[in-house]
Amino acid sequence: MSTATPVRTSTMAQALNAALRDAMREDRSVHVLGEDVGALGGVFRITDGLTAEFGRDRCLDTPLAEAGILGTAIGMAMYGLRPVVEMQFDAFAYPAMEQLVSHVAKMRNRTAGKLPLPITIRIPYGGGIGGVEHHSDSSEAYYAQTPGLHVVTPATVGDAYGLLRASIASDDPVVFLEPKRLYWGKDSLDPAAPVEPIGRAVLRRTGSSAVLITYGPSLPVCLEAAEAAKAEGWDLAVLDLRTLVPFDDETVCRVVRSLGRAVVVHEASGFGGTGAEIAARVTERCFHHLAAPVLRVTGFDIPYPPPMLEHHHLPGVDRILDAVARLQWED
């Protein structure tokens, strides 16, 4: 008898909880650890009920010591377990960067492939929830620039479930970035439905004028912008990357070559951000197909602003449409 969660309407938070529960039911080597993941069920209740079902040995509350949490997970993985670490908020993960960069990302290469570290590091990230600094960072570029890590960021309920299951099953370490402002969005969840694998982008909306390339928390904004663009006579496609590493050059370039115009959208600061890498890769590979330069709409190059000002910082419909207008003018 299958232990998978049945088809139902689900929030992203519930889908992530279901993915953890199903993975733990099917594989006793899967362990969850982090701050308040036990009895409380995590700050966002992603681990709700796991301690009650699987016990404190498999869903473990830890001290407030991120470097120690990830260091412990490294040891667990070296001895054959599949730890899933929760970092409570995006910027809370920074104390663990030494463990992540020096050991998690390098162990497989250091041992000539003999010692993989199948660790999944869940990090709620991004803004849009009225959080103060250290609670709203978009830190994906730090991880994407570190060889040896996979970097995944779902934007839909189905991907939250499917990509988390794939991440836990992977023998490579995965930084799993969860867009916290999408936690409460609802959609149908069918755990048995096929999900595109890690490393594959998905076209969420077709179009004929230009493509908005995005991921994570910016996907709903881009879909909203694409709808608003119809009033201007623009038919915008929306491409959801889903995975930053490995990067799906094939799908991205196929879509860009067919349209000739592209805008990259993300919450993180623009300078040195993932959008810069995406724009460079597209330009290098699609130069003769481009009708205009690849543009970016990003957060500003500032520390994350106070809650009352974050709406100015985050990319919105108007800023995206302004960029699209520049694409048309530069034809």
Question: What CA dihedral angle connects 171, 177, 182 and 184, to 10 degrees?
Answer: 60
Number of H helices, E strands in the chain: 12, 14
Q: Where are the beta strands (DSSP E) in the chain?
A: 8-11, 30-34, 59-61, 82-86, 120-125, 150-152, 174-179, 186-189, 202-205, 210-214, 236-240, 243-245, 262-269, 295-299
Q: Does the active-site annotation cover 135?
A: yes
Cβ contacts of residue 231 below 8 Å, gap of 6+? Answer: none
Task: Judge contact between 307 and 132, C-beta under 8 A.
Answer: yes
Give which of 24, 43, 23 is closest to 35, Cα–Cα: 43
Q: Are 83 and 119 in contact (CB under 8 A)?
A: yes
Tracing tokens 């100015």 back to the chain, one arrives at 312
Catalytic residue among 31, 134, 135, 266: 135
Angle (CA) 256-148-96 rounded to 5° is 115
Q: How far apart are CA 117 and CA 105, in angstroms?
A: 8
Measured distance CA(131)–CA(183) in Å, rounded: 14
Q: Within a 10 A sphere around the Cβ of 308, how many other Cβ atoms?
A: 8
**CB atoms near residue 309 (< 10 Å):** 10
Q: Which residues are catalytic?
A: 135
